[in-house]
Amino acid sequence: MKLVFATHNKNKFKEVSALLSSKFELLSLTDIKCFDEIPETGTTLQENAKLKTDFVKKNFNLDCFSDDTGLLVDALNGEPGVYSARYAGEDKSDEANITKLLASLELNPNRNAHFKTVVSLNINNQQYYFKGIVEGVITTKKSGSKGFGYDPIFIPNGYNKTFAELALSVKNSISHRGQAIAKLVEFLNTSSYTNN
Protein backbone atom coordinates (compact mmCIF):
# COMPACT_ATOMS: atom_id res chain seq x y z
CA MET A 1 0.00 0.00 0.00
CA LYS A 2 1.44 3.36 -1.03
CA LEU A 3 1.26 6.20 1.44
CA VAL A 4 2.81 9.65 1.22
CA PHE A 5 4.38 11.05 4.36
CA ALA A 6 4.23 14.80 3.75
CA THR A 7 7.71 15.79 4.82
CA HIS A 8 11.05 16.86 3.37
CA ASN A 9 12.75 16.13 6.71
CA LYS A 10 15.01 13.12 6.14
CA ASN A 11 15.48 12.47 9.87
CA LYS A 12 11.75 12.47 10.50
CA PHE A 13 11.16 10.24 7.46
CA LYS A 14 13.74 7.76 8.76
CA GLU A 15 12.09 7.67 12.20
CA VAL A 16 8.64 7.04 10.79
CA SER A 17 9.85 4.48 8.20
CA ALA A 18 11.22 2.41 11.07
CA LEU A 19 7.75 2.30 12.62
CA LEU A 20 5.81 1.13 9.57
CA SER A 21 5.58 -2.50 8.48
CA SER A 22 6.69 -3.70 5.05
CA LYS A 23 3.11 -3.74 3.78
CA PHE A 24 3.39 0.03 3.42
CA GLU A 25 5.42 1.68 0.69
CA LEU A 26 6.25 5.03 2.25
CA LEU A 27 6.91 7.96 -0.07
CA SER A 28 8.26 11.37 0.89
CA LEU A 29 7.36 14.68 -0.72
CA THR A 30 10.62 14.45 -2.65
CA ASP A 31 9.62 11.00 -3.96
CA ILE A 32 6.43 12.41 -5.49
CA LYS A 33 8.30 15.41 -6.93
CA CYS A 34 6.70 17.87 -4.54
CA PHE A 35 9.38 20.43 -3.80
CA ASP A 36 7.08 23.11 -2.44
CA GLU A 37 7.38 24.36 1.11
CA ILE A 38 3.81 23.75 2.23
CA PRO A 39 2.68 26.77 4.28
CA GLU A 40 1.99 26.00 7.94
CA THR A 41 -0.33 28.89 8.73
CA GLY A 42 -2.51 27.11 11.29
CA THR A 43 -2.75 28.18 14.90
CA THR A 44 -2.77 24.60 16.21
CA LEU A 45 -0.72 21.48 15.51
CA GLN A 46 -3.81 19.75 14.11
CA GLU A 47 -4.51 22.59 11.68
CA ASN A 48 -0.94 22.54 10.39
CA ALA A 49 -0.95 18.76 9.96
CA LYS A 50 -4.23 18.96 8.04
CA LEU A 51 -2.92 21.73 5.78
CA LYS A 52 -0.12 19.45 4.60
CA THR A 53 -2.32 16.43 3.90
CA ASP A 54 -4.89 18.60 2.15
CA PHE A 55 -2.17 20.06 -0.07
CA VAL A 56 -0.94 16.64 -1.19
CA LYS A 57 -4.45 15.32 -1.74
CA LYS A 58 -5.47 18.36 -3.76
CA ASN A 59 -2.33 18.61 -5.91
CA PHE A 60 -1.28 14.96 -6.27
CA ASN A 61 -4.47 13.03 -5.43
CA LEU A 62 -2.54 10.60 -3.24
CA ASP A 63 -3.41 9.13 0.16
CA CYS A 64 -1.25 10.95 2.62
CA PHE A 65 -0.41 11.56 6.25
CA SER A 66 1.57 14.30 7.90
CA ASP A 67 2.51 15.36 11.37
CA ASP A 68 3.06 18.57 13.20
CA THR A 69 4.95 18.56 16.45
CA GLY A 70 5.44 21.15 19.13
CA LEU A 71 7.58 21.46 22.23
CA LEU A 72 5.58 23.09 25.00
CA VAL A 73 7.60 24.47 27.91
CA ASP A 74 5.72 25.15 31.15
CA ALA A 75 7.82 28.13 32.26
CA LEU A 76 7.34 29.77 28.85
CA ASN A 77 3.56 29.42 28.92
CA GLY A 78 3.60 26.67 26.33
CA GLU A 79 6.13 28.21 23.97
CA PRO A 80 7.46 27.49 21.43
CA GLY A 81 4.44 25.26 20.76
CA VAL A 82 3.06 25.47 17.23
CA TYR A 83 6.03 27.66 16.28
CA SER A 84 8.67 25.15 17.44
CA ALA A 85 10.28 24.66 14.02
CA ARG A 86 10.68 28.40 13.41
CA TYR A 87 11.09 29.61 17.00
CA ALA A 88 14.28 31.52 16.15
CA GLY A 89 13.26 32.47 12.60
CA GLU A 90 11.93 31.21 9.29
CA ASP A 91 15.18 29.42 8.35
CA LYS A 92 14.15 26.64 10.78
CA SER A 93 17.60 26.22 12.31
CA ASP A 94 17.69 23.55 15.03
CA GLU A 95 20.80 25.16 16.53
CA ALA A 96 19.27 28.63 16.64
CA ASN A 97 16.01 27.30 18.10
CA ILE A 98 17.85 25.48 20.89
CA THR A 99 20.01 28.51 21.66
CA LYS A 100 16.95 30.77 21.91
CA LEU A 101 15.05 28.30 24.10
CA LEU A 102 17.90 27.81 26.55
CA ALA A 103 18.42 31.59 26.73
CA SER A 104 14.69 32.10 27.34
CA LEU A 105 14.77 29.67 30.25
CA GLU A 106 18.16 30.84 31.59
CA LEU A 107 18.41 29.56 35.16
CA ASN A 108 14.67 29.02 35.63
CA PRO A 109 14.31 26.04 37.99
CA ASN A 110 11.07 24.93 36.27
CA ARG A 111 12.36 22.84 33.34
CA ASN A 112 9.14 20.85 32.79
CA ALA A 113 8.03 20.46 29.20
CA HIS A 114 6.27 18.08 26.86
CA PHE A 115 6.35 17.20 23.21
CA LYS A 116 3.04 16.81 21.40
CA THR A 117 2.53 15.35 17.93
CA VAL A 118 -0.65 15.36 15.89
CA VAL A 119 -0.78 13.13 12.82
CA SER A 120 -3.32 13.88 10.11
CA LEU A 121 -4.31 11.09 7.74
CA ASN A 122 -6.23 11.77 4.54
CA ILE A 123 -7.24 8.46 2.98
CA ASN A 124 -10.12 7.74 0.62
CA ASN A 125 -11.10 11.38 1.12
CA GLN A 126 -11.64 10.82 4.83
CA GLN A 127 -9.72 12.68 7.54
CA TYR A 128 -8.42 11.07 10.74
CA TYR A 129 -6.20 12.34 13.57
CA PHE A 130 -3.83 10.59 15.97
CA LYS A 131 -2.03 12.21 18.91
CA GLY A 132 0.96 11.46 21.08
CA ILE A 133 2.48 13.24 24.10
CA VAL A 134 5.66 12.66 26.09
CA GLU A 135 6.50 14.52 29.28
CA GLY A 136 10.02 15.46 30.29
CA VAL A 137 12.43 18.22 31.24
CA ILE A 138 14.66 20.68 29.41
CA THR A 139 18.37 20.39 30.14
CA THR A 140 20.70 23.35 30.64
CA LYS A 141 22.98 22.32 27.78
CA LYS A 142 22.98 20.11 24.71
CA SER A 143 23.88 16.44 24.97
CA GLY A 144 23.92 13.73 22.30
CA SER A 145 24.26 13.61 18.53
CA LYS A 146 21.30 11.47 17.47
CA GLY A 147 17.87 12.75 16.55
CA PHE A 148 17.02 16.27 15.46
CA GLY A 149 15.20 19.39 16.54
CA TYR A 150 15.15 19.84 20.31
CA ASP A 151 16.22 16.24 21.01
CA PRO A 152 19.63 17.24 22.50
CA ILE A 153 17.98 19.24 25.29
CA PHE A 154 14.94 17.08 26.16
CA ILE A 155 15.07 14.26 28.71
CA PRO A 156 11.88 12.16 28.78
CA ASN A 157 10.51 11.28 32.21
CA GLY A 158 11.92 8.01 33.54
CA TYR A 159 15.21 8.38 31.67
CA ASN A 160 18.53 10.07 32.39
CA LYS A 161 19.47 10.65 28.75
CA THR A 162 18.24 13.12 26.17
CA PHE A 163 16.37 11.96 23.08
CA ALA A 164 19.61 12.69 21.18
CA GLU A 165 21.45 10.13 23.34
CA LEU A 166 18.88 7.35 23.09
CA ALA A 167 18.89 4.69 20.39
CA LEU A 168 16.26 5.30 17.71
CA SER A 169 14.41 2.12 18.71
CA VAL A 170 14.15 3.36 22.31
CA LYS A 171 13.10 6.84 21.28
CA ASN A 172 10.44 5.49 18.91
CA SER A 173 9.03 3.27 21.66
CA ILE A 174 8.31 6.21 23.98
CA SER A 175 8.23 9.38 21.91
CA HIS A 176 5.32 11.63 21.04
CA ARG A 177 5.74 10.86 17.33
CA GLY A 178 6.17 7.15 18.03
CA GLN A 179 2.89 7.10 19.97
CA ALA A 180 0.96 8.96 17.27
CA ILE A 181 2.39 6.85 14.43
CA ALA A 182 1.65 3.65 16.38
CA LYS A 183 -2.00 4.73 16.58
CA LEU A 184 -1.96 5.46 12.84
CA VAL A 185 -0.47 2.04 12.05
CA GLU A 186 -2.98 0.28 14.31
CA PHE A 187 -5.80 2.10 12.54
CA LEU A 188 -4.49 1.14 9.10
CA ASN A 189 -3.89 -2.47 10.13
CA THR A 190 -7.42 -2.88 11.46
CA SER A 191 -9.17 -1.04 8.64
CA SER A 192 -10.06 -2.16 5.14
CA TYR A 193 -7.58 0.24 3.54
CA THR A 194 -4.65 -2.15 3.62
CA ASN A 195 -6.63 -4.63 1.57
CA ASN A 196 -7.31 -2.22 -1.26
Per-residue CA distances from 146 to 33, 143, 156, 162 (Å): 28, 9, 15, 9
Whether residue 68 lies in the annotated active site: yes
Q: Are 130 and 187 in contact (CB under 8 A)?
A: yes
Tally Cβ neighbours within 10 Å of residue 56.
24
User: Residues 6 or more apart from 7 whose CB is under 8 A from it?
Assistant: 13, 28, 29, 66, 67
Whole-angstrom distance, CA of residue 48 vs CA of residue 39: 8
Which member of 63, 67, 68, 151 is catalytic? 68
- Positions marked catalytic: 68
